[in-house]
Amino acid sequence: MKQRTLGRTGQRVSEIGFGAWAIGGTWGEVSQQDAEAALHAALDAGITFIDTADVYGDGRSEKIIAGVLNQRGGERPFVATKLGRRLSPHVADGYNASNLNAFVDRSRENLQTGTLDLVQLHCPPTEVYYNPEVFAVMDEMVAAGKIRHYGVSVEKVEEGLKALEFPNVSSIQLIYNIFRQRPAELLLREAKRRNVGIIARVPLASGLLTGKMGPDSQFAADDHRAFNRNGEAFDKGETFSGVPYEVALEAVEEIRRYVPGDISMAMLALRWILMNDDVSVVIPGAKNRQQAEDNARASSVDALSDETMAALKQIYQAKIAPYVHQRW
């Protein structure tokens, strides 16, 4: 497993991380046994970065992570969590000192640690990025020893660029994949220039870029791929990267021609992200042991050829960009 540095944290982490949304909820049923097995498999494969949030299963994800890490003992991986989405309503005014401290204290309890490695504002309203008081509260929590570092998880490129103006932001998490290529035009370079880590989420476009879905694929009622296709519950860009399902399936068939015979499309999609040195870590999710092991193997996939990279860019520009490029 190859390592990269997570921005100004100075922390060396595995370039493939473990995205722990699926073991929390809204991805269909994932048993406790499968969730724990997936996490064990990722750690056994050399993954040292875990990304979770307090709303993933209302704390279920954080608690599963704590249980597995306590069971394994030894050196702990770097665990990033997020806060803010528990607000109801989810409004900018809710990002105040009282609420932020309460959220951090709850995550410290769930993760069974006195100090959280990294806390990210969880896709807050855009106005939050124009409120320096919010970032001052985060600074205070660092000074108090509750958190070591903080960052942001953004929906839009513009939000990431605004977050870079705050000097103690250590990382930006955003959607970056074959279907969402805009961040590479400016944001990723600017983050690297300012020594801010980049965490690439939704790398497989909610499973589309595994190449295993089709027109007749069915999703459980509690799976966001069934209930959030048009943004009914949260930003629709989080589901299938905001690409209309049928359009995405057509693009997937074109991508399939460029997948070498010895790897899966998912491995190709993860390797495409890692071709960009500005990315610190990519965080595919896993619902079971096999998925976790397959994700980890992407770190050993050979670099993609210039021809393949150019072809994937052309597919994006022709098929996908009209639906997503200017939205996020």
DSSP string, 48-67: -EEE--TTTTTTHHHHHHHH
DSSP string, 160-206: HHHHTTSTTEEEEEEE-BTTB-GGGGTHHHHHHHTT-EEEEE-TTGG
Q: Does pLDDT of 27 surpass 90?
A: no
Average pLDDT over residues 52-75: 97
Q: How many Å is the maximal CA-CA distance in the chain?
A: 54
- The pLDDT tens digits for 150-189 are 999 999 999 999 999 999 999 999 999 999 999 999 999 9
Helix (H, G, I), strand (E, B) or coil at 27: strand
* Per-residue pLDDT band at 25 (split at 50, 70, 90): confident
Strand partners, 4: 13
Output the pLDDT for position 127. 98
Average pLDDT over residues 265-270: 98
Average pLDDT over residues 264-276: 98
DSSP string, 63-117: HHHHHHHHHH-SSPPEEEEEESTT-SS--GGG-SHHHHHHHHHHHHHHHT-SSEE
pTM: 0.97
Average pLDDT over residues 76-88: 97
> What does DSSP say about strands 3-5 and 12-14: parallel, antiparallel, or unpaired?
antiparallel
Output the pLDDT for position 266. 97
* Per-residue pLDDT band at 28 (split at 50, 70, 90): confident
Output the pLDDT for position 17. 98
Output the pLDDT for position 212. 96
Output the pLDDT for position 163. 98
Output the pLDDT for position 179. 98
Strand partners, 122: 153
Average pLDDT over residues 131-156: 98
CA-to-CA distance for 194 and 258, rounded, in angstroms? 34
Q: Would you name the residues annotated as active-site residues?
A: 56
Q: What percent of the chain has pLDDT over 90?
A: 98
CA-to-CA distance for 241 and 53, rounded, in angstroms? 19
Nearest-CA neighbor of 4 among 22, 16, 20?
16
The domains found in the chain, sorted by start residue, are: 3-323 (3.20.20.100)
- Which residues have C-beta within 8 Å of that of residue 203, sequence separation ≥ 6? 176, 177, 209, 269, 270, 273, 282, 283, 284
Output the average pLDDT for the chain: 97
Output the pLDDT for position 26. 84
Q: Does pLDDT of 206 surpass 90?
A: yes
